[in-house]
Amino acid sequence: MYDLLDIINNPDLKTEERLNALKIWQEIKKKSGLNKNSGEINNHVHTIYSFSPYTPAMAALKAFEAGLEAAGSVDHDSIAAAQEMIKACAILGIGGCVGFEVRVSFKNSSNKEGKPSFFSEKKLNNPDSKGIAYMTVQGIPKPYISEAARFLKPIREERLKRIKAMTVSANVLLRDAGYGEIDFMNDIYNESKYDEGGGITERHLLAAVAKKIISFCRKGSQVTESLESKMGVKVPPKIAVLLSDPDNPHYLYDLLGVLKAEFLPAIFIQPDENECISADRVTSYADSISAVSSYAYLGDVLDSPTGDKKEEKFEDDFIDDLFAELSRLNYKAVAYMPPRNTLAQLCNLHRLSRERGFMEISGVDLNNPRQSFNCGEVMLLEEFRHLTDTAWALIAHERLAGVDKKFGLFSSENPLASLKLEEKLAAYAGYGRKLDLFNPDESAFNMTEEINKGRLL
């Protein structure tokens, strides 16, 4: 079993090798009894195709082991995980959906003259940049996955150039501290999945920095002491305790979190609008492939679960203006992460989404082995049960639109187009739960035949 897990999560193997190992694992698991279903979902899991300890097959397996009903991959600037994620979820018999995450510019929105907008000097949901926001495009139907990869290619290329330039700045600081330098190709590029359509992010650079520091200091309290004396990096006490343990299995990720908060600002190069294209370009593109464009709400941060965000204010002071702008930009949904937000924030998001007619998508931004695949008790509260329903609606949308674009949730040709969004989501949640999750594509085809005959309307 352990050898199988090593194969399933081996980033250097081919997709089919990982999936074959997952099939064997599933057959063994059937004989010993399947996991109890928690009733939860998670639509925002990162994989090795951006920065994560999990292959798509392992991400699906981790979701299954956590008792999730469904899981979705969302990688930075990349859709490369999609095919493996869909197949892995089908092997395990859980719902699967796919998408990507990009950063977009709000700097010239809200006006026709191209002047800086109200949002150009605001931190939206991005701790590193003003006027730049994270968004997701989710529920991408299978026939459009290759097209999405082509759309993302120039964005990946622009980010690659910027990370390469940031590496030069990082090397100045590393050299001055006596740690030695990073080799971009060996330490960053070759450690990524860029050649397979994956993205290279700031975390790839910071992981290389962390490894260089560990190599110089070796694991233990000396790492914290060295960071503070040589680079002026202050390590939070609770992280210092973790870094003092050389047997800490998450050492690299704990150190990376410190570097993201304390080291990255010193080398960060702001992205331009070739890399972070305008938000309306991405929402229009999502519409063209029958996918769901979604603003990824962060909210004011009091405590970061991954240790890589400082206490800071984001959208909450101007949330009403932001939602009005999202409507103008033709966003279809708002995504948020229950464990990261307070109950008051979640209730406000729900209210605003209903008022503006946005679909609500839930999921935990998973890219760290310390994070749980479960979304927390809030997902089980009655007032947030609808988030599970919308997850199933998203799955149904992805599968049915994969048969015919007219079955996309927001298609004007949808047989249910005349219904209110809430009614449509309820119907699609029902469709999602009726899918044969071990064979979702054939099941979706049969379902569209029934809908066309008026039997499931």
Q: Which residues pair with 240 in a beta bridge?
A: none
Q: Are 262 and 311 in contact (CB under 8 A)?
A: no
Count of beta carbons in the 10 Å neighbourhood of residue 417: 12
Task: For residue 66, give the amino acid letter.
Answer: A
- Give dist(CA 446, CA 47) in Å, integer: 31
Alpha-helical (H) ranges within 294-420 are: 319-328, 343-356, 386-403
pLDDT at 72 over 70: yes
Among 210, 241, 267, where does a domain finish? 267
Start-to-end Cα distance in the chain: 45
Average pLDDT over residues 109-137: 83
Give the other-Cβ count within 10 Å of 313's Cβ: 11
Q: How many separate domains does the chain show? A: 3
- The residue among 445, 361, 457 whose CA lies nearest residue 418 is 457
Q: In the structure encoding, which two tokens stand for residue 107, read together?
A: 């700097």
The pLDDT, as a whole number, for residue 306 is 43
Local confidence band at 386 (pLDDT 50, 70, 90 cut-offs): confident
Residue at 452 is within a domain: yes
Instruction: Assess whether pLDDT exceeds 50 at residue 451.
Output: yes
DSSP character for 41? E
Closest CA to 68 of 384, 347, 457, 364: 364
Residue range 366-386: mean pLDDT, rounded:
78
Q: At 185, list the tokens.
A: 């190709």
pLDDT of residue 304: 46
- Rounded distance, CA 146 to CA 154, Å? 14
At 76, the pLDDT band (50, 70, 90 cuts) reads very high
pLDDT by residue (tens digit) across 302-316? 654 444 456 788 999
pLDDT score for 435: 96
DSSP-assigned letter for residue 28: H
Burial of 41 (0-12, 13-18, 19+ CB in 10 A): buried
Give the model confidence (pLDDT) of 229-267 as tens digits.
999 999 999 999 999 999 999 999 999 999 999 999 999
Evaluate whether residue 202 is within a structural domain. Answer: yes
pLDDT above 70: residue 34: no
Assigned domain for 442 exists:
yes
| Cβ atoms within 10 Å, residue 30 | 10
- Is there a domain that residue 307 lies in? no
- What distance lies between CA 279 and its chain's CA centroid? 17
Residue 386, both tokens? 């609808």
Confidence of residue 341 (pLDDT cuts 50, 70, 90): confident
On whether residue 438 sits in a domain, the answer given is: yes
The predicted pLDDT at position 382 comes to 74
Give the residue-averaged pLDDT of 353-381. 84
Whether residue 401 lies inside any domain: the answer is yes
pLDDT on residue 2:
66
CB 386 within 8 A of CB 394: no
pLDDT at residue 407, rounded to an integer: 96
Amino acid at 26: Q
**pLDDT classification of 103: cutoffs 50, 70, 90:** very high
- Whether residue 409 is contained in a domain is answered as yes
Output 453 or 62, whichever has higher pLDDT.
62
Two tokens, residue 159: 């980010």
AA letter at 423:
E
3-state secondary structure of 296: strand
Whether residue 155 has pLDDT greater than 90 = yes
The sign of the dihedral angle between the CA atoms of 188, 235, 307, 268 is negative
C-alpha to C-alpha distance for 111 and 332, rounded to whole angstroms: 21
Phi first, then psi: give them for residue 401, nearest 5 degrees.
-70, -20
Q: Look at residue 307 in the predicted model and tell me its pLDDT.
A: 46
Q: Which of 239, 267, 295 is the last residue of a domain?
A: 267
**What span, in angstroms and rounded, lies between the C-alpha atoms of 391 and 362?**
7
Q: Which amino acid is at 427?
A: A
Ranges assigned E (strand) in 106-229: 132-138
Order of strands across the sheet that contains 292-296: 41-45, 70-76, 95-105, 132-138, 292-296, 333-336, 359-362
Range scoring the smallest mean pLDDT among 31-40, 217-226, 300-309: 300-309
- Among 267, 286, 320, the domain-final residue is 267
Task: Tell me whether residue 450 is in a domain.
Answer: yes
Distances (CA, A) of 128 to 172, 207, 405: 21, 18, 37
Mean pLDDT, the chain, whole residue set: 91
Residue pointed to by tokens 């594509």: 441
Alpha-carbon span 124 to 185, nearest angstrom = 33
CA 229 to CA 115: how far, in whole Å? 45
Q: Contact, 395 vs 430, CB < 8 A?
A: no
- Is 130's pLDDT higher than 70? yes
Q: Domain span at residue 4?
A: 1-34
Q: What is the pTM of this model?
A: 0.93
Average pLDDT over residues 57-77: 95
